[in-house]
Amino acid sequence: MDPRLLEAIARNDKNTFINLVQENENFLEQRTDGSRSTVLHLATRFGHVKLVMEILKLRPMVAAENNKLETPLHEACIRGHTEVLKLLLEHNPWAACKLNADNQSAFFMACSHGHVDLVKLLLNQSWLVGLEDEGFDPTCLHVAASRGHTGVVRELLNVFPDLAWKVDKNGYSPLHHACNSGNLEITRILLKLSTDLALQFSSTGHMPLHLAAMNAKTEIFEEFEQIAPISFHHLTRQGETVFHLTVKYKHYEAFIWLVGAFHNTDLFHHPDQCGNTLLHLAVSRGCSQNGEILQQRTVKHYTRHCTWPQDLEISIGHRNFKLCPDMVAAENSKLETPS
């Protein structure tokens, strides 16, 4: 592209741009050397509304693609230029259906970058709503939930509530993404839509709450406790509880939260499908803080139930983490003697 033309676009110098085009009409066909962007791509990228209007009068190349197969509409949705997008849609609304090299539409880019005004504008296009069943990318909600774009999530669910149930190639629902990233408000929105969303398994055998445990998103625990408490009792496909996951991934604060909320339930002593208790995991992972708490809780549990697992004691001893006999005796002394 001629440097003079490039400079005129960058500086939003409409008069110079028009003079250059009048001298040589072929300037409108020029592209940048690297990205193969047109003059409309560049003017859109900078958000120069009046210059975009002028280019559209001269050559409405709204569907033109750069080397990434992106149209000027993609540029507008990436940058968040609402007024420019309106102009482009007026000239060629169907260009918004074109996908880039990553199979992403302009609408997907608006959702991905959290541009609520652009999402609203596109959702008001009747042709977009008609594409819900064919050609519409349902992962628009997934990417918005993953990146914490609450406004976009609300707008999408208002028009397409069924998107909350769609899963991506990893079997992740939007709630999986929200929990994985620790997006509290989006998690709340989705749980209030339906608590059944909390019971969806991903391809790896995890429910949304399991991902929160794996990533130490303790604030997500609090939301689930209020809206979907039954989720804490569901295991992964590998038979792990949320307790197992916090110990496995060495998330001490998340573990402490669970101890405070569920220490008197069977969850605390539930083994995984390999027979590993929480204490086994804590010892094998070198989690001394978790181990000390688990040591105390385990002694209380087994002394109260009058059963002592020898394999557990041996396993712990092998790792130089033996249960203290004095602790056992102390707990036994606390047990009420039947009259």
pLDDT > 60? residue 247: yes
So what's the pLDDT on residue 152? 98
Summarize the confidence of residues 218-228 as an average pLDDT: 94
For the chain, the domains span: 1-129, 138-234, 237-339
pLDDT > 90? residue 338: no
So what's the pLDDT on residue 270? 64
- The fold of the 138-234 domain, in CATH, is 1.25.40
CB-CB contact of 193 with 178 (8 Å): no
92-106, 170-184, 217-231, 269-283: the lowest-pLDDT one: 269-283
Measure CA 115 to chain center.
16
pLDDT > 90? residue 314: no
pLDDT band at 257 (very low <50, low <70, confident <90, very high): confident
CATH for 1-129, among 1.10.3720.10, 4.10.140.10, 3.40.50.2300, 1.25.40.20? Answer: 1.25.40.20
pLDDT > 70? residue 308: no
pLDDT > 80? residue 212: yes
pLDDT band at 262 (very low <50, low <70, confident <90, very high): confident
Residue 84 and residue 102: Cα distance in Å, rounded? 23
Summarize the confidence of residues 135-148 as an average pLDDT: 87
> Is-same-fold flag (1-129; 237-339)?
yes
CB-CB contact of 79 with 45 (8 Å): yes
Residue 156 and residue 159: Cα distance in Å, rounded? 5
- The fold of the 237-339 domain, in CATH, is 1.25.40
pLDDT band at 309 (very low <50, low <70, confident <90, very high): very low
pLDDT > 70? residue 323: no
- Triad 195, 176, 135: Cα angle to 5°: 100
pLDDT band at 238 (very low <50, low <70, confident <90, very high): confident
So what's the pLDDT on residue 258? 80
pLDDT in tens, 189-206: 999 999 999 999 999 999
pLDDT above 70 covers a percentage of the chain that reads 74
pLDDT above 90 covers a percentage of the chain that reads 60
Mean model confidence pLDDT for the chain = 82
Residue 271 and residue 51: Cα distance in Å, rounded? 67
So what's the pLDDT on residue 131? 56
pLDDT > 60? residue 330: no
In DSSP notation, 265-322 reads SGGGG---TT---HHHHHHHTT-HHHHHHHHHHHHHHHHHTT---HHHHHHHHHTT-P
